Amino acid sequence: MMKTYAFAVVGALGNVGTEMRGILEKSDLPIEKLVLMDVAGNAGKKVSWRDQEHTVVESKPEAFSGLDIAIMSAGAEASLQLSPEAVKRGCVVIDNSSAFRMAPEHPLVVPEVNADALADHQGIIANPNCSTIQMLVALKPIHDKFRVKRVVVSTYQAVSGSGQGGVDELLKQTLACTKGEKMQSSVYPHQIAFNVLPHIDTFQENGYSGEEMKMINETAKILDPNIRITSTTVRVPVATGHSESLNIETEKPFEVDQIKKLMAESPGIVLEDEPDKNIYPLAVKTAGKDAVYVGRIRRDFSTENAINMWCVSDNLRKGAALNTVQIARELINRDLVRVE
């Protein structure tokens, strides 16, 4: 008989939590029981899942008793408080916040890249930043075959990365603009409609934003600390789907067709690269999809062994919810759903 598991989704009514519920609902994971948790104000709300009505409960330590896996998307502060309590009760936590990403004792995992790191999770696995995940899915096969030396990444990130408030602000500002009314900004420091903001997260003393440093530091932890990487992260007026321009320099020489073939054959990647037919990855077409889409692959003639590519993925799915569910699947497949 197949072993079954008791799951929880924490932050179940948020944007990412909602995606998690939807992905779990359609998955074939052996889920015997699902507990939906959220803030006290949402406790008691009813949610339909697999044709059954589930009542949301408050996220508190005792709610984790008897659970096997908790997928958390409740923010770093809540995760720092709740995750150790869940582990004490024998529950393995997959955390979508920044709380444990750089903690050396907990793995930071993209299943297509470093699933083997799950072997020593000590009860908590961190889900990387959305922009890091899609970049590393594309970089991993190139690194394995040609050894990546340096990456210059510029991102074009959707407002849903800021939560539902970012989406609402973009829609309200767009509507106000069409009516000739003044646009109000509260989520972002400047107007986001018909604009781009080179500002995601807070700025650090070194001049980089928090988002930029996440991409740099997480790449070192997940893929290879020897890769030199620099990042510019930008918010754009797109609802869903992060886009990235990647300039990748390798140690070994390659042919462009070899890179395209690698991308076409690698797990989690869809190659869309026929620019003469206007075929290349688009945020509007990747929304709601699971894969990382790559295209516009071309040689960088300005230096040796370098290539440019365009990389797009749904930031709420592969960039967050889907990656956590894939981690859960790996834990189950590898028989690692235990706290030691």
Which residues are part of the catalytic machinery?
A: 130, 242
Measured distance CA(169)–CA(184) in Å, rounded: 8
CA distance 128 to 25: 23
Written as six digits, the tokens of 5 are 């598991």
Length of the chain: 340
DSSP 16-80: HHHHHHHHHHHS---EEEEEEEE-GGGTT-EEEETTEEEE-EE--GGGGTT-SEEEE-S-HHHHH
State how far the Cα of 205 lies from the Cα of 307, in Å rounded to an integer: 31
Give the long-range contacts of residues 296-303, CB within 8 A, separation 24 or more. 297/256, 297/259, 297/260, 297/263, 297/273, 298/256, 299/256, 300/247, 300/249, 303/249
The H or E element that residue 269 is part of is strand 269-271
